[in-house]
Amino acid sequence: MLFYRTQNVPDICELPVYPDHGQYEVVEQTHAGPGNNYTYLELFYWCDIGYGIAGFESIKCSHGVWSEELPTCIDGCRLDYNAGVSYLCKELSSVEFSISCQSYEPNGAEVLPVCDTPYYRSDLPPMKCVDGNWNYTPACLPECGIKLSNTMITGDMINTVHDEEGWNGRSGEIPWHVAIYNRNYQPYKQICSGSIISVEVVITAAHCFWSDVEGLAPSSRFAVAAGKMYQPWSAPSDSRAQRRDVNDIVIPKMFRGAQTNFQDDIAIVYVSKPFIFNRNVWPVCVDFDLKLDGTYLTVDNLGKVAGWGLVGENGKMSPELQFVELPYVEIDRCIANASPDFRAYITNDKICAGYTNDQALCKGDSGGGLVFAKMQGQLQRHYLRGVASTAPNDDELCKTHATPTFTHILAHKQFIRDHLKSINR
């Protein structure tokens, strides 16, 4: 640490003049002011409205030696160090961002935002302070969409890790997948699936919580479990599952279930307690970049869906979590393959994916996420593009000869952003 000595009188701390556009307070010396002498001092600085401190808000002096340079008040921009963001600044006459920044930087300053582990975003440009405001606000998102079953991220390194007792390999394949339960049954009954997108938020289908008689059911009726391999709520083998009550459910105002042909079939679920992220519980990536659709939503490109649905027509519920890769189907082909009664449910916010053979999404799979993988360096990252919505229904418990539809998250970009401030891409 650097120390700065009082120039006039050795071993004496002389109170400095107040900074322009600011003041300080002397700890335990109510009536002290500039020019007074003490053996020991501690000062707390603050600035007038519209100005910020360049330097440290708190400094000390002992026997004539100051712990830091005296701060000043500048007309500039304040840096927000929350949400996993750090900043790098330039030294004088340097073009490299290589030094730590102050809490305030002057007008005209350029700052490079950097995402801290376990947050990420690779395309953050420098910020510039203009008339007391930064030209944009950086956003770092929690590390998402990766499988940690066999890897662990430490800084920029990816290390192999070994499974511990109780970790489920299959749930680690799709660690963002959750089961949604109705608490009116004993034991709780699994009714839908969903995808974790933040520590407290799950995206799923609105129809999971809707009836034409009651409308939106109360959130207290439902519970969520993450990191599960087995469907039953209290399966003994799911020793590391994370179970949560539901605090709130938000659906689009226009959703009316079958009355509106399941248009806007998407819901945001807030859980009662944050998830603890680990190898079996991890968020999927949500990105509203239109270019991703051009990359992923191409004919026969495979997306991945998980669930405990039926294995085949008139089959039995799968006791263990299953996942299947489904090819994207163009909307005109999807409509052409659908039965006349079902075509009305392929609304303009739907995309289609699936086979017409013996693989299908079935009872209990509604709300599950359709994700597509993208290689980024050494990592394969998964992006959520759709939410399992509707499939043709008849007397069979599972219809395997028609293509299911998914609510396209890009069609509900504003709805998701309005209710989830942490996703601001």
Read off the pLDDT of residues 239-267 as tens digits, 9 standing for 90 and up: 889 999 999 999 999 999 999 999 999 99
Segments of 85-135 assigned E as strands: 85-90, 97-100, 104-106, 110-115, 119-120, 127-130, 133-134
Give the tens place of pLDDT for each residue, 337-386. 888 888 999 999 999 998 755 555 666 689 999 999 988 777 788 999 99
pLDDT for the residue numbered 397:
45
Burial readout 282-321 (b: 16 or more C-beta within 10 A, e: otherwise): bbbbbbbeeebbeebbeeeeebbbbbbbbbeeebebbeeb
| Average pLDDT of the chain to the nearest whole number | 83
pLDDT band at 135 (very low <50, low <70, confident <90, very high): very high
The pLDDT assigned to 316 comes to 59
What top-level class would CATH report for the domain 76-142? mainly beta
pTM: 0.67
Which strand (E) or helix (H) includes residue 170? helix 169-173
Distance CA 123, CA 114 (A): 10
Rounded to 5°, the CA angle 165-153-271 comes to 70
Of residues 307 and 265, more confidence is placed in: 265
Q: In the numeric block, which tokens belong to residue 403?
A: 């293509």
Q: Using CA atoms, how far apart are residues 11 and 320, in angstroms rounded to an integer?
A: 74
Q: How do the domains of the chain map onto residue ranges?
A: 4-74, 76-142, 169-271, 290-419
CATH architecture assigned to 4-74: Ribbon (2.10)
pLDDT over 90 percentage in the chain:
44
Q: 73 by DSSP, 3-state: which?
A: strand
CATH architecture for residues 169-271: Beta Barrel (2.40)
Q: What is the pLDDT of residues 26-35, one digit of tens each?
A: 988 888 889 9
In terms of C-beta distances under 8 Å and separation of at least 24 residues, what long-range contacts does 288-295 make, across chains too?
Answer: 288/409, 288/410, 288/413, 288/416, 288/417, 288/425, 289/425, 290/410, 292/372, 292/374, 292/383, 292/385, 293/385, 293/410, 295/372, 295/374
* Contact by Cβ (8 Å): 307, 387: no
Above 80 in pLDDT, residue 66?
Answer: yes
Q: Are 267 and 204 in contact (CB under 8 A)?
A: yes
What pLDDT score was predicted for residue 171?
58
Rounded Cα distance, 366 and 254, in Å? 19
Instruction: Name which of 157-166, 286-295, 395-404 the model is least confident about.
Output: 157-166
- What's the rounded mean pLDDT across residues 160-168? 35
For residue 410, count other CB atoms closer than 10 A to its CB. 17
317 secondary structure, DSSP code: B
Domain 290-419's class?
mainly beta
Tell me how far apart the alpha carbons of residues 301 and 176 are, in angstroms, rounded to a whole number.
Answer: 21
- CA R_g for the chain: 28
Domains 76-142 and 290-419 share a fold: no
Does the pLDDT value for residue 65 go beyond 80?
yes
